[in-house]
Each structure stands twice: as structure tokens, then as C-alpha cells.
């Protein structure tokens, strides 16, 4: 009687598929690009750099999806917080205060989501979508739909500074830290395990002493906070709190999550796979840009990738579903 040790667990079927896919993508683009420019350090930096903001949104929604929930307000939340952050700075508020205040606003929106879902009883899909609409509207109202410049030297330093000969953006460090933190949290702590159990069978978890409602609140508030952070980091990178902000990055994040094995059904997936999923998507998009492929094809390619992710998810669920009916 033994238990399969970590190494074997890590390299399960799904991870191998993902890694193979990643290798194919990287190899193909390196070969096709001029002098293998795809793999130049600066371009690798480009790929990772673009993952920063999206990864925060992915972490936010990923934790929730594992618990069997969904949050469609991350994009709108982040955008609103980005613009509020810029407004606070513009109004002369010191950056640490503005930072904390904005994070609190994001968390408040998350708490509101949690209340709608847990107390009022709305479906998370609908509730968060509605909150997203409200947030979007508020974004327009916030500064009359005009972008707010960000000039605070500390914030702009965080947003634009790069170490090691222009190769390691500060924001990337922040994203990596966040990613590692949440991977460990979900994978190795009591809290993380509880989230998986709730996602797997909420009632069974409750009847074993876990508090689904409390954890739901924590996850929604966490999602709100990460969304706010994403909006803040974006504003720092752009040196501007924009009206469109992170809204468009929301679904890319969910695609990466699904590709990485986080299922809409809840209770499965790990951020290791999600990370590889993000690498594949961003590496793919970057590769197409490097090759100068027209935007039409880029949209088509992204669509194909999304279809692929959905197929992977579907096949995964079907495989488990099939096993259930076998037992009879």
C-alpha cells in the first residue's frame, strides 16, 4: 500500500499533453521566424510581460472555478479600480493609501458578489454579469469616460521599470509572486483542499465540517482584490487609467484556466497546468505577431485555440462522467 508520489502526479496525462503542445508551438515559431527571433530574450520577455495582468485575472477566476463558482465581473471590476486608482493619485492621495483604498474597493465589489450568490441566491453567472454591467457603467461615469493619466513616480516606476538589462519587468515579478503564492495556497494548504472539496461536492464538504459559505465569501473577495490589483498594475504599465482597461482580458484568462484543466464543473485543475495554458496562448499570439500574420488570422487562431480548450475540458468531463455510469 503506497501512494503515488508527487512527481508521477505532476506529470499526469493532461500536463504531458499541454507540454507537448507548448513545445510544438515554440518550435514552430522559432523555425518560422527570421533568425529564430521568436526565441530572442527580448521576445521571451514580451511573451511573459503580456501575461502579467491577465494572470492576475486568471488566478482570481481560477480559484473560484475550482470551488464550482464563476466570476464574470473581474474585468469590469479591474477596469473600474484602475480608473479610481488613477483618480485618487491625481487627487493628490499618497500612493500607499490610494493602493489600499483601491484594493478595498475591489474587495467590496467581491463581497457584494458573494452576498448576491450566497444570501440572495442568484446564480453566480448572472449575478456577476450584472455586477460587471454596473461596474462598467460606473467606469464611464468616473471620469466622464476620459482616461486619467498616472504620474506618481513610485507607481510609474513599478509599472515601467525593468531589471537585468531590460529583461525583467517589475510587474512580472509581482505576477510571479502572486502565481506562486496561489499555487501553493490551493495545492498545499487546508484552505486550498477545502476549496477543491467544495467544488467536488459542496454538500458532502459541508457535512464534513467545511464552511462553503464562508469560503465562498473569501474567494469572491479574493477575486475582487486580484481584479483590482490587475487594474492597478495595468494603469501603472500604461501610465494611464483607461476606460477599457482589463475588460478584454477576462475571457483570455478563463480560456487559459480551462486549457490548464480548471473545469467549469468545479473541483479540478491546478495552477501548474494553468500556467502552461497561459504560456501556450500568449506564445501563440506573440508568434503570430512576430510572423506578421494579419489580424484576421490571429482572431481565427485564437478562436481555434479556445475551441481546443473547450474540447479538452469536455473530453475530460466526459471521461469522468463515463466512469460513473459504468459502475451502475
Partner 1 sequence: MERCLEFKGIEKAFPGVRALQDINFRVKGGRVLALLGENGAGKSTLLKIMSGDLRADAGTITLNGREMNFSSPNDAIRAGISVIYQERQLVPAMSVAENIFPGIPPRGALGLVAGKQLKRQAQELIDKFGLSIDPAAPVGTLSVAYQQMVEIMKAYRRDSDVIAFDEPTAPLTDAEIAILFDLIRRLKEAGKIILYVSHRLSEIFQVTDEIVVLKDGRLVAEMKTSETGEQELIRAMVGRDIGDTYAGLNRNDKIGEVLLEVSHLETDVLRDVSFTLRRGEIVGFAGLVGAGRTEVARAIFGADPVSSGEIKIEGKPVRFKTPKDAIDAGVALCPEDRKEQGLVLFRSVRDNVTMPILAKVKRGLFLDNHAEDEITIDAVKRYAIKTPTVDKIVMELSGGNQQKVILGRWTSSKMTTKILILDEPTKGIDVGTKAEVYQMVCDFAGQGIGVIFISSELTEVVNISDTIVVMHGGRVTGQMTRQEATEEKVLALAMLD
Partner 2 sequence: MKKIISLLLVVLMAAGLLACGGGGQNGNIETSGTETQTPDASASETAAAPPDGGADTPAVSADAPQNVGYIDDPVDHFARDTYQIAYLSPAFMFLQQSWFAAMQAFEERLNFKVTSFTGENNSDTYLTNIELIASQGYDGIIMDCEQPVAVRAYEIIEETGVPYIAFVQSLLDENGKTVCPQVVLDQYDTGKKTIDWLIANYKSYWGEIDASTLGLIDCTVTTSPDLALRAVAPEEIFKATFPEGHYFMADMAAAGGVTADAAYTQVMATVSAHPEIEHWWVTGSTEFFGSGSARVFDDLGKVDDALVCVVGAGANIVDWDSMTPDTKSSLVACLAISDLLYAAPAVSGVIALIDGRATKETLWRDKTPADWQFGTDYGVWLVENDIITRDTYKTYFEEINAKYLLSGGHTD
Which of partner 1, partner 2, none is residue 311 near (CB under 5 to 8 Å by kind)?
partner 2
The beta-carbon contacts of 87-93 under 8 Å, at least 24 apart in sequence, are: 87/142, 87/143, 87/148, 87/241, 89/150, 89/151, 89/152, 89/155, 90/148, 90/149, 90/150, 90/151
Residue 209 interacting with partner 1 (CB under 8 A): yes
Contact partner at residue 94 from partner 1, partner 2, none, CB < 5 to 8 Å by partner kind: none
d(CA 135, CA 227): 12
Q: How far apart are CA 104 and CA 126, in angstroms?
A: 23
Q: By CB under 8 A, which span of 64-72, 191-199, 237-245, 254-262 interacts with partner 2?
A: 237-245
Judged by CB under 8 A, the chain residues 264 through 293 that form the site for partner 2 are: 286-293
* Cα R_g (the chain), whole angstroms: 20
Nearer to partner 1, 3 or 144 (CB): 3
Query: Binding mask 127-156 vs partner 2 (x if CB under 8 A, - otherwise)?
Result: -------------x---xxxx-x-x-----
Contact between 229 and partner 2 per CB under 8 A: no
User: Which residue from 189, 248, 303, 320 is in contact with partner 2, where contact means CB under 8 A?
Assistant: 248
Is residue 190 a contact point for partner 1 (CB under 8 A)?
Answer: yes
- Answer yes or no: are the C-beta atoms of 250 and 75 closer than 8 Å: yes
> Which helix (H) or strand (E) is 148 found in, with range?
strand 148-149
Taking the least distance from each CB to partner 1, the nearer of 49 and 183 is 183
260 binds, among partner 2, partner 1, none (CB under 5 to 8 A by kind): none
Q: Which residues lie across from 240 on neighbouring strands?
A: 149
Stretch touching partner 2 by CB under 8 A, among 1-9, 39-47, 210-218, 261-269:
39-47
Question: Are 82 and 235 within 8 A, CB to CB?
Answer: yes
State yes or no: residue 180 binds partner 1 (CB under 8 A): no
Minimum separation from the CB atom of position 84 to partner 2 (A)? 15
Nearest Cα residue to 162 out of 242, 42, 327, 4: 42
DSSP 240: E
Q: Which three cell numbers stand for residue 81?
A: 479600480
- With CB under 8 A as the contact rule, the residue among 99, 197, 290, 312 that binds partner 1 is 197
Tracing cell 475530460 back to the chain, one arrives at: 316
Residue 200 binds: one of partner 1, partner 2, none (C-beta under 5 to 8 A by kind): partner 1
Q: Using CA of residue 25, residue 238, residue 222, residue 168, what is the dihedral sign?
A: positive
Please give the size of the binding site for partner 1, defined by CB under 8 A: 33
176 contacts partner 1 (rule: CB under 8 A) = no
**Helix (H), strand (E) counts: the chain:** 15, 4
b/e per residue, 285-298, with b = 16+ CB within 10 A?
bbbbebeeeeeeee
* Interacting residues with partner 1 between 233 and 292 (CB under 8 A): 267-268
> Which residues 105-144 are close enough to bind partner 1 by CB under 8 A?
none
- The contact set with partner 1 (CB under 8 A) reads 1-4, 9, 184, 188-190, 193-194, 196-197, 200-201, 203-211, 267-268, 320, 323-328
- The contact set with partner 2 (CB under 8 A) reads 17, 20-21, 24-25, 28-29, 32-34, 37, 40, 42-43, 46, 49-50, 53, 140, 144-147, 149, 151, 160, 234, 237-240, 242-244, 248-249, 286-298, 301, 304-305, 308, 311-312, 315, 318-319
Amino acid at each position: 500500500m503506497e501512494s503515488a508520489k508527487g512527481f508521477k502526479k505532476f506529470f499526469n496525462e493532461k500536463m504531458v499533453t499541454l507540454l507537448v503542445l507548448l513545445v510544438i508551438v515554440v518550435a514552430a515559431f522559432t523555425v518560422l521566424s527570421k533568425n529564430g527571433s521568436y526565441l530572442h530574450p527580448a521576445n521571451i520577455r514580451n511573451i511573459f510581460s503580456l501575461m502579467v495582468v491577465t494572470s492576475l485575472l486568471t488566478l482570481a477566476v481560477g480559484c473560484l472555478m475550482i470551488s464550482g463558482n464563476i466570476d464574470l465581473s473581474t474585468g469590469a471590476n479591474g477596469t473600474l479600480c484602475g480608473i479610481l486608482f488613477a483618480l485618487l493619485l491625481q487627487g493628490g492621495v499618497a500612493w500607499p493609501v490610494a493602493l489600499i483604498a483601491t484594493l478595498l474597493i475591489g474587495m467590496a465589489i467581491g463581497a457584494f458578489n458573494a452576498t448576491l450568490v450566497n444570501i440572495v441566491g442568484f446564480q453566480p453567472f448572472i449575478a456577476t454579469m450584472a455586477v460587471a454591467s454596473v461596474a462598467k457603467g460606473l467606469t464611464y461615469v468616473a471620469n466622464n469616460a476620459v482616461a486619467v493619466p498616472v504620474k506618481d513616480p513610485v507607481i510609474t516606476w513599478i509599472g515601467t521599470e525593468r531589471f537585468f538589462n531590460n529583461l525583467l519587468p517589475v510587474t512580472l515579478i509581482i505576477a510571479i509572486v502572486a502565481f506562486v503564492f496561489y499555487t501553493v495556497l490551493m495545492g498545499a494548504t487546508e484552505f486550498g483542499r477545502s476549496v477543491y472539496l467544495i467544488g467536488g461536492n459542496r454538500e458532502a464538504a459541508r457535512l464534513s465540517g467545511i464552511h462553503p459559505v464562508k469560503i465562498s465569501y473569501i474567494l469572491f473577495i479574493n477575486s475582487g482584490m486580484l481584479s483590482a490589483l490587475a487594474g492597478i498594475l495595468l494603469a501603472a504599465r500604461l501610465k494611464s487609467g483607461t476606460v477599457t482597461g482589463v475588460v478584454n482580458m477576462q475571457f483570455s484568462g478563463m480560456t487559459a484556466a480551462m486549457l490548464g484543466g480548471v473545469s467549469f464543473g468545479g473541483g479540478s485543475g491546478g495552477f501548474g497546468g494553468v500556467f502552461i495554458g497561459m504560456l501556450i496562448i500568449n506564445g501563440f499570439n506573440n508568434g503570430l505577431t512576430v510572423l506578421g500574420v494579419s489580424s484576421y488570422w490571429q482572431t481565427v487562431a485564437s478562436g481555434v485555440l479556445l475551441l481546443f480548450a473547450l474540447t479538452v475540458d469536455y473530453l475530460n468531463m466526459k471521461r469522468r462522467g463515463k466512469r460513473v455510469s459504468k459502475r451502475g
